Chain A
Amino acid sequence: MTEVNPSAVRSAVRSATLPIGLPAMLPTPMRIKRRMRDTPDTFTIVLDVPQPPFVLEAGQFNMLYAFGVGEVPISISGVSKNGGELVHTIRDVGTVTHALSLLRKDGVVGVRGPYGRGWPLEAARGKDVILAAGGIGLAPLRPAIRHVLDHREEYGRVVILYGARTPQDMLYLPEIQKWRGRLDTKMSVTVDRASRKWLGNVGVITQLVAASRVDPDETIAMVCGPEIMMHYMQIHLAKLGLPNDQIYVSMERNMKCAIGRCGHCQYGGDFICKDGPVFTFDEIADRFRVRAL
C-alpha cells in the first residue's frame, strides 16, 4: 500500500483530540440540557457532553443525528468554558432539522465531531478583525466573536457586522446588545426590512463595510452567510483594500459523512468537510463564481 502522503493531511485534525465517533461513524448520544427559541424558525440547544471537555476550534461543526431520521452538519455555536456544554443553533428547513426542532429538554441528540478547519484566530492575532455574518451565519461565527472579545487585548480594531432579514430574525439578541455596548468594539446591525419601530439600519450588510476604520494591510475578515452575501462582501472588502488571502469565508454543501468519504461536499479540488468549511477567499477564488459547481 502506498505511504500516507503528507499533503493528504494538509487539513488534518489540528485539534489535540480526534473527533468523537471515529473510526466508525458512531454518534454519541447527548442530552439536551436547555432549549431556546431564537426566532420563529430557529432554535438553540445546549447539549450535555458525557465526557468533557469537548475540544474544538471556532468554526468547526458536528454531525447531529435525529434518531432514525438522519444526520446533518451543524456548526458549533458555542461551548462552555469547561467543555461540558455544547451549543448548536439550528434553522428548521427540512427533514432532519425539523426532527431536531421537535426535541425538548432531556431529549437526546446523536453527536459526532468536531470536524473541519475553523476560523483563523491565530492568524488574526495582533491584527484588525472584521467579523461579518448574514442570517444563521452568526451561529458559526459566534465562537470566533466570543474568542476575540474574550481576548480583546490580542487584537487590533474589532468590527462586527450582522445582517438579518427582519428584526424578528435576529439571533442572540441579549448577547448582541452586550457586544454593541462595548467601547472597544464597533458592532453594526442591519436588516433587509423592518417596521417603523426599528431605529437601526435597513439595507444590505455590505453598506456597513466602508465605515470600518481598519488598516487593510493588517486586517483579517471572517465572513459567514449565504453565498450571495459572501460574494458581495468580498467585493466590498476588496474595495476597502483587503486582498483575498485576508478574507475568510465558510462554505456549505451537502454533507453525508463529514470525513472525506461520501464525496458529497466536493467543491472543485477541495472537500468542504475536511479542507474547509472555512477557506481563504484566495483558495477558492478560481471557482467561487462558477455557476452550479
Chain B
Amino acid sequence: METSSVGNTNTGSIHVLAAADLSALLEAIVAEGYRLVGPRIRNGTAVLDEISGAAQLPRGYRDSQRPGEYRISANGSGETNAGRYFDYVVGPTSVKRFLYPPRRKVLEAERSGGQWKITEPADDYPPTAIVGLRSCDLAAVRILDRVLLNDIYPDPVYAARRKATLMIGVDCAHPSETCFCTSMGGGPSVESGYDLNLTELGDGATHRFLIAAGSDRGEKLMASLRLSTATSDDLAAGAAQRKSAEAALAQNPPMQDAREVLANAWNSTRWDSIAQRCMACANCTMSCPTCFCVDIEDETDLTGEHADRWQTWDSCFTMGHSYVHGGAVRKETTSRYRQWMTHKLSSWHDQFEMSGCTGCGRCITWCPVGIDIREELAAIRTDQKTDVPEAAQ
C-alpha cells in the first residue's frame, strides 16, 4: 500500500464509471488490502460501518432531517438493488469514529516492587477505505488534521490512522434541511481531501458515476477499472445536479460573521434562553465530526499492580470537563452551551485559524429538543444589533 500521498487535491481527469461497476471499484479496493467501510442502515439510520461490498450500501434510500428529527427509508421503488446509492446525506456517525475512536487504550503500566514498566499498546487499525464521505466529512478531516497533526505535539496514532485511510468521496445531490455546509465555505460537492471522488448521475438506464482521483492511490485504483471518458453531457449533468443541491442550501442564513458575533457574546442573555431548552445531553458534541475533547482515565486490576489507561470521547457538556478541585467551573447549562457554540464557531479560529464547524448539521438533527445552531447565531446577532445603537448613543 502506498502511503506517500494522503488525500491530495491534484484532480486528475474525470471519467465515467458504469453504475454496475461500483462493485468492481469496491472489490479493487478490497484487493488492495483495505477494510471496507461505508454507509449502511442500522437502527433506522445510515451509519458508517464495515461493509462487505456495494450490495450493503443503502441503495434506493432517501433521508429526511429536521431539527431533532431523522428518518430514512427506501424511496418507494419497491425493488431491491434498484435506485441510486447515495441519495441520503450524513447520519449520526462520522469519519472521526475511525480516525479518532470513541475509546482507545493509550497506555499499559505494570508494577512489581519499585519497578514500573509503562508501554503504549499497539494500535489495531487496519488499512481502511471509507466510501461515501461527503464534503463536510472531508472538511472535518482537514480540521482534525489541524488539531491533531499540525499542532505543537502531533498525535502519532492519529497520524498513522490517517495515513492508513483511503477516502472515497461522494458529491451530495440532496442536502437535508439541517445541512449548511455552504454557509461554512464548503460543499455540497467534494473539492479536496479525497483519494477518489464519485458524482452519482442519472438512474436506471442512465445510472452512472463521474469518478476523479485526488491522489496517487486513487489514480492507481482508477487505472484498474473499466472507465470511459466523461462527455460534455456527463459534465453538464454533474454541474446541474450540483446547482440544484446548492439551491437547496441557499435558504440558510448567512454565518460568515459567526466568529465576530460570538467573540462579543459572553454575556448575551440568549444563553439563558437556550439553557432552558438544552438538556446538556452532549449529543451535539458526540455526533460532531470535529469535537476532539477526550477524557483520560486509569483502570487497575484487582491486584493494583496492572493499570490500563483509556482515552474516551468527552464533551464540554459534562461536569467533569471543567472540574477543578472544589467543583466544576461550568456548573450550569448556560455556560456549557456557551462553551460549545463559541468554541465551534469563534474561539476555534483563535486556536486553529479556522472554524470548528463544517455545517454538517448533525448537532441540529440529533439534538433531542431540536436546538438549531443557525437560529441561535441569528438570535445572538439580533440581540447585539438591538444593543448597539443604545450603546452608541
Annotate B301-340 by CB proximity to A: 1 below 8 A, 0 otherwise. Answer: 0001001000000101000111111100111101100010
As a 0/1 sequence over residues 195 to 211 of chain A, the CB contacts with chain B under 8 angstroms (1 = contact) are 00000000000000000
**Known contacts A253-B329, A271-B351; is-contact A1 B116 (Cβ 8 Å):** no
The answer to whether A12 touches B116 (Cβ under 8 A) is: no
Q: In the assembled complex, how far is the CB of residue B338 from the closest CB belonging to chain A, in whole angstroms?
A: 8
Interface residues of B, CB < 8 Å — how many?
63
> Counting chain B CB atoms within 10 Å of each CB, which of A253, A269, A287 scores highest?
A269
B156 & A1 in contact (Cβ 8 Å cutoff) = no
Let me know if B152 and A5 touch, CB within 8 A: no
B152–A13 touching, CB < 8 Å: yes
For B329, the closest partner residue in chain A by CB is A292
Q: Which of A2, A29, A257, A264 contacts B322 (CB 8 A)?
A: A264
Q: In the complex, what residues of A have CB within 8 A of residue B383's CB?
A: none
Interface residues of A in 229-266 (CB under 8 A from B): 252-254, 256-257, 259-264, 266
Partner of A2, one of B145, B324, B334, B339: B145
Q: How large is the interface on A (under 10, 10 to 19, 20 to 34, 35 or more residues)?
A: 35 or more
In this assembly, does A94 line the interface, its C-beta being within 8 Å of a C-beta of chain B? yes
Q: CB within 8 A of B118: which of A29, A69, A290?
A: A29
Given contacts A269-B351, A290-B267, contact A68 B307 (CB under 8 A): yes
A214-237, CB < 8 A from B = none
Question: Within the complex, what minimum Cβ distance (angstroms) separates B84 from chain A?
Answer: 32
Given contacts A268-B347, A268-B350, contact A256 B294 (CB under 8 A): yes
Taking CB atoms, residues of chain A closer than 8 Å to B25 are none
Q: Digit string of A1-43 for contact with B (CB within 8 Å is 1, else 0)?
A: 1111101110111000000001111110101000000000000
In the bound complex, CA of A108 to CA of B298 (Å): 17
Chain B residues whose C-beta falls within 8 Å of the C-beta of A69 in the assembled complex: 298
Q: Known contacts A93-B325, A293-B329; is A67 also within 8 Å of B155 by CB?
A: no
Expressed in whole angstroms, the Cα–Cα distance for A4 and B149 within the complex equals 9
Taking a contact as CB atoms closer than 8 A, the residue among A7, A94, A256, A266 that contacts B347 in the complex is A266
Q: A252, B324: Cβ atoms under 8 Å?
A: yes
Separation in Å of the B146 CB from the closest CB of chain A?
6
Does B352 make an interface contact (CB < 8 A)? yes
Is A274 part of the contact surface with B, judged by Cβ < 8 Å? Answer: yes
Number of A-B contacts (CB under 8 A): 146
Contact A290 B266 (CB under 8 A): yes
B296–A292 touching, CB < 8 Å: no
A106 interface hit (Cβ, 8 Å) = yes
Q: Which residue of B lies closest to A106 (CB)?
A: B114
Q: B106's contact among A7, A25, A259, by CB below 8 Å, is which?
A: A25
Q: Is B101 part of the contact surface with A, judged by Cβ < 8 Å?
A: no
Please give me the residue from chain A that is nearest to B118 by CB atom. Answer: A26
On whether A26 and B353 interact (CB within 8 A), knowing A1-B149, A262-B295, the answer reads no
Distance to closest chain A CB from B138 (angstroms): 12
Kindly state the separation between the CA atoms of A5 and B323 in the bound complex, as whole angstroms: 31
Cross-chain contact A2 with B142 (CB below 8 angstroms): yes
Are A261's CB and B153's CB within 8 A?
A: yes
Separation of A171 and B155 alpha carbons in the complex (Å): 38
Q: B32 near A: Cβ within 8 Å?
A: no
A residues apposed to B, CB below 8 Å = 1-5, 7-9, 11-13, 22-27, 29, 31, 67-71, 93-94, 97, 106, 108, 110, 252-254, 256-257, 259-264, 266, 268-271, 274, 287, 290-293
Q: A31-B114, A68-B111, A274-B153 are in contact. List 11 more A-B contacts (CB 8 A).
A: A3-B150, A5-B150, A7-B353, A8-B352, A26-B119, A29-B118, A71-B296, A263-B316, A266-B343, A268-B347, A292-B330
24 A-B pairs, CB-CB below 8 angstroms? Answer: A5-B146, A5-B150, A8-B150, A9-B152, A67-B116, A68-B109, A93-B325, A94-B325, A97-B325, A254-B323, A254-B324, A256-B295, A257-B294, A261-B148, A261-B151, A262-B296, A262-B314, A264-B322, A266-B316, A266-B351, A269-B349, A292-B329, A293-B330, A293-B335
Q: Which 6 A-B pairs have the closest CB atoms?
A: A269-B350, A263-B293, A292-B335, A68-B300, A68-B307, A93-B325
